[in-house]
Amino acid sequence: MFGIYVHIPYCLQRCSYCDFATFVYDQILPPQDYVNLLLRELAAKSHLAPQKELTSIYFGGGTPSLLEPNLIVSILDAIAKNDFIISPKTEITLEINPATLYTEKILALIAAGVNRFSVGAQTFDEDLLRLAGRKHSAQDTFDTLALLQKQNVNYSFDLLFALPEQGRARLANDLKIISDLKPPHLSAYCLTVPNGHPMSKNRALDDEQASMFNDIENALLNIGLHRYEISNFSRPQYESQHNLLYWRQKPYLSLGLSAHSYLAHLSPWGERFWNPSTVEGYADFVQQLTPENALNVHHQKNLGERLSESAALFDYAHTALRLAEGFSFENVPAFSPALTEALTDRLNALVKSRLLETKNNSWILTEQGRLISNLVFERLLLDN
Ligand code: SF4
């Protein structure tokens, strides 16, 4: 399994709660210039891939649907020209903002090979959309989903909850709409903002937030979507193939501003490397890349890490624990007995604290563990 991620940093607006590397579309370099950088980066790095057959391609951001389809086509063409194999089984996802899509654009993207759309719906509550600073309306989302359903194309949408002034009763309106829409896949995110942020006031307390998540899970179960990851729900066989690469520690090559790659075959315990997160830094960085020096440039600029054995084991464990299937030593390479024992001790201590449970030789988050998953993961950290 192997996938390519392409970061598109343009957005219609800059949402105050977002910490992705994104910019309002007319405030940075023109999209064609950015795509030229992406293609140059691809040419310099394609030889690093462990295989040519692609499980997935994911256009994320940002708002990739702001780009004209011909630019998406040029990126897909370049991927194919670098000898990658895009087969009918390759999942090609593009994130879209409901205010940026119209029929011709969807048809052009589908013709280019995009076979899955991830819709940034967030909520169907007009007041909450405005409060979150979103430019799209609930009607824009309905129109976009109707377009996708008419084309019979796979899609997912994001649901943001625990927004200011939103309690269980108000969330119930969104869940009623979702139950009628019956999407194949949904990602549910609890709003995360630091104290003092304008959106940190008048929010549901922790207990109510937990109840809201249970309401979401129950509503989705009723329409046949099971929770397969902490925040992700799908019909059987509709799990995001690209995101599964991340959670199962499979390799991926990522292109674009601030994009992170993971390639297991480059050193004994794998390598992670990432790109600069400023536009100027990224442009300058890409100009220096050649196929001969690509990895070295990352390391020279402290933009890469050769994983130690303990870091690799920790990564396998905490990403697998995000999944409903949990973590099992059966699904990872052989680690040293000392590290295996150290991790087993930590996992079993978390079972005693009722934050994990065991099933079929796997450790799985309990409901309590899921609510404080970041703390659970911290407790798995192994000494180097
Ligand atoms: S549209 Fe999405 S990616 Fe862009 S700033 Fe808002 S939340 Fe972030």
Q: What are the residue boundaries of the structural domains of the chain, listed by start? A: 3-244, 309-378
Distance separating alpha carbons of residues 286 and 40, to the nearest angstrom: 7
Distance separating alpha carbons of residues 282 and 288, to the nearest angstrom: 10
- Tell me the CATH number for domain 309-378: 1.10.10
End-to-end CA separation in angstroms for the chain:
29
The pLDDT of residue 382 is 82
Under-70 pLDDT residues of the chain? 384
> Which residue of 13, 20, 67, 96 sits with most ligand 1 atoms within 8 Å of its CB, as the best mutation to test the pocket?
20
The pLDDT of residue 192 is 92
Cβ atoms 257, 10 nearer than 8 A: no
Give distance in angstroms: CA of 341 to centre of ligand 1. Answer: 42
Give distance in angstroms: CA of 187 to centre of ligand 1. Answer: 15
- Tell me the CATH number for domain 3-244: 3.20.20.70
Q: What is the mean pLDDT of the chain?
A: 96
The pLDDT of residue 384 is 64
pTM for the predicted model, two decimal places: 0.97
Minimum CA distance residue for ligand 1 atom 6? 15
* Ligand 1 touching residue 15 (CB < 6 A): yes
Q: Give percent of the chain with pLDDT exceeding 70.
A: 100
The pLDDT of residue 264 is 97
The pLDDT of residue 383 is 75
What are the phi and psi torsion angles at 13 (to 5°)? -145, 165
The pLDDT of residue 329 is 98
Q: Tell me: the pLDDT tens digits for 82-101?
A: 999 999 999 999 999 998 88
Q: What long-range pairs does 188-191 form, CB within 8 A, spacing at least 24?
A: 188/158, 188/159, 188/161, 188/213, 188/216, 188/231, 188/232, 188/233, 189/158, 189/159, 189/160, 189/161, 189/231, 190/160, 190/161, 190/162, 191/17, 191/160, 191/161, 191/162, 191/163
